[in-house]
Amino acid sequence: MKILIVGGGGREYAIALALKRDESVECLYFAPGNGATDELGVNVDIKDFEKLAEFVKKESIGLTIVGPEAPLVEGITDIFKKHNLAIFGVSKDAARLEGSKAFMKDFLSRHNIPTARYIQTSSIEKADEFIDTLKAPIVVKADGLCAGKGVIIAKNKEEAKESVRGMLNGESFGDAGKSVVVEEFLDGYELSIFAVCDGENYKILPAAQDHKRLLDNDEGPNTGGMGAYAPTPLANDDIYAQTEEFVIKPTLKGMKDEGMPYTGVLFIGAMVVDKKVYVLEYNVRFGDPECEVLMPLLKTSAKDLFYKAATGRLDEIKLEFKNEFAVGVVVAGKDYPYKNSEPKPITSKAKISANSHVAYAGVDKKEGVIYASGGRVLVCVGLGESIKAARENAYDLTKEISFEGAKFRNDIAYQALR
Ligand code: AMP
Ligand code: GLY
């Protein structure tokens, strides 16, 4: 089978590596891919979804897998389905679970799914009133997509009220902040839990932890994620059971009942407070860098998993994972997350090994040389029989690969190892 992967980051690179382990995968295409995916398949430069669907038909591509949220929110799945093409990714309607925080919070509340107490409003007065009922810190979120940057944790009520004003008058996040969600602060630890869903059935994956802050000890600004590991010992059987019973099942049922069956990845940004699971947010796709540590742990064929999910037949497969751990260390450019740095050539002495590999993300290729060009440039992934061993393998790999200005955190997986 030929497969198209939409996207061009480390997540899509990791999905490609997993697909290539299945010999029945003939050829991979990437739209748009990056400067390293052309070594795994063919990069396709077609942005228009109708034209991309035509290309998929012409090339007899049997499955399309969508990596990032933007094309889902823009409706790529609906267009491909109209053309009777198999696509793994949620519909435009379902993508609102990520595209609008207000939609997501209201959905959680309609279906009694545990989440932080909140108000969604465009009124400064109503927001102020609700803020006065909360204890600091207070969380203020812009409604729309802000590439992970629309969340402010205000230290006190005044700062919360100021943040609301900044968003509602369009200063902070433009249109994305025209409506806000104000919510109570949940004080616990975060997990990234993923379920692959086919509209009706689901398969839950081992829980991962991301590291959102730029610097060691969770200091510095928020980023898209500086590293991840899985499975995390911070998720025990009870946490998985709660997540399935109180989060995944009511979500799939709710989405189906509301006329938008959920076919794609359900990414639960969970906060565990006093052993209880709360939903902080939903995303409608794999996390990046979580995907880079989950894909190498898959024992089941990634092609089977995504194809069965896309065609409503997930109940036909058994999802199995290796009895190992994976740690991924994101190597970012000098100016991340503030701006893109000038492209720098990447030198690599890394050898292909069973215990470690690189997932390329923000890279370009010029005259055969791979350049670091994006914010998060690549992920060094280590595997091992313990988290400690996996982490050593990941950090060993960071020494083999370099570019000017490269930076990374030194404490990925610390919550599992302390
Ligand atoms: P979100 O985009 O909603 O995932 O928010 C980004 C980050 O802000 C989360 O990963 C949390 O670290 C933090 N956060 C969001 N909402 C809350 C909350 N209600 N309580 C505590 N932390 C939160
Ligand atoms: N790593 C978190 C995200 O992809 O949103």
Q: Is the CB of 290 under 6 A from ligand 2?
A: yes
- The domain total for the chain is 4
Q: Which of 264, 291, 316 is the last residue of a domain?
A: 316
Q: Are 296 and 326 in contact (CB under 8 A)?
A: yes
Ligand 2 mean position, distance from CA 102 (Å): 19
The residue contributing the CA closest to ligand 1 atom 5 is 151
Identify whether residues 194 and 308 lie together within a single domain.
yes
DSSP state of 373: -
3-state secondary structure at position 273: strand
The CATH number covering residue 359 comes to 3.90.600.10
Identify whether residues 236 and 268 lie together within a single domain.
yes
Identify whether residues 331 and 389 lie together within a single domain.
yes
In this predicted structure, the answer to whether residue 327 has a pLDDT above a threshold of 80 is yes
Q: Which of 101, 104, 213, 280 to mutate to test the pocket of ligand 1 (most atoms within 8 A of CB)?
A: 280
Instruction: For 151-173, write each residue's pLDDT tens digit.
Output: 899 999 999 999 999 888 877 66
Distance of alpha carbon 165 from alpha carbon 167, whole angstroms: 5
3-state secondary structure at position 416: helix
Tell me the ligand closest to 7's alpha carbon: 2
Instruction: For 273-316, write each residue's pLDDT tens digit.
Output: 999 999 999 999 999 999 999 999 999 999 999 999 999 999 99
Q: Are 346 and 363 in contact (CB under 8 A)?
A: yes
Q: Which of 90, 111, 146 is the last residue of a domain?
A: 90
Q: Is the CB of 137 under 6 A from ligand 1?
A: no
Is residue 15 assigned to a domain? Answer: yes
The verdict on whether omega for the bond into residue 71 sits within 30 degrees of 0, i.e. cis, is no
Q: Which domain holds residue 43?
A: 2-90
**Residue 146 vs residues 6, 9, 98: alpha-carbon distances, Å:** 20, 18, 11
The arithmetic mean of pLDDT across residues 28-41, rounded, is 98
The CATH number covering residue 259 comes to 3.30.470.20
Q: Which helix (H) or strand (E) holds 236?
A: none
Number of the ligand 2 atom closest to the C-alpha atom of 283: 5
Phi-psi region of 155 (alpha: psi -120 to 50; beta: other; left: phi over 0): alpha
Q: Which helix (H) or strand (E) holds 330?
A: strand 325-332
Identify whether residues 144 and 205 lie together within a single domain.
no
Tell me the ligand closest to 213's alpha carbon: 1
Ligand 2 mean position, distance from CA 192 (Å): 8
398 backbone dihedrals φ, ψ, rounded to 5°: -60, -25
Q: Is the CB of 272 under 6 A from ligand 1?
A: no
The CATH number covering residue 7 comes to 3.40.50.20
Is residue 354 assigned to a domain? Answer: yes
331 backbone dihedrals φ, ψ, rounded to 5°: -105, 120
Is residue 103 assigned to a domain? Answer: no
Identify whether residues 195 and 301 lie together within a single domain.
yes
The arithmetic mean of pLDDT across residues 186-208, rounded, is 98
How many Å is the Cα radius of gyration of the chain?
A: 21
3-state secondary structure at position 270: strand
Identify whether residues 296 and 377 lie together within a single domain.
no
Identify whether residues 196 and 299 lie together within a single domain.
yes
Handedness of CA 140, 377, 3, 292 (dihedral sign): negative
Instruction: For 210-236, write each residue's pLDDT tens digit.
Output: 999 999 999 998 899 999 999 999 999
Q: Which of 46, 68, 90 is the last residue of a domain?
A: 90
Q: Which of 283, 293, 376 to mutate to test the pocket of ligand 2 (most atoms within 8 A of CB)?
A: 283
Identify whether residues 312 and 329 lie together within a single domain.
no
The CATH number covering residue 134 comes to 3.30.1490.20
Number of the ligand 2 atom closest to the C-alpha atom of 287: 4
Identify whether residues 302 and 330 lie together within a single domain.
no
Q: How high is the mean pLDDT of the chain?
A: 95
Distance of alpha carbon 117 from alpha carbon 109, whole angstroms: 9
Identify whether residues 57 and 128 lie together within a single domain.
no
Q: Are 87 and 310 in contact (CB under 8 A)?
A: yes
In 136-257 the beta strands, taken as DSSP E runs, fall at 138-142, 151-154, 180-184, 189-198, 202-204, 209-210, 213-215, 219-222, 227-230
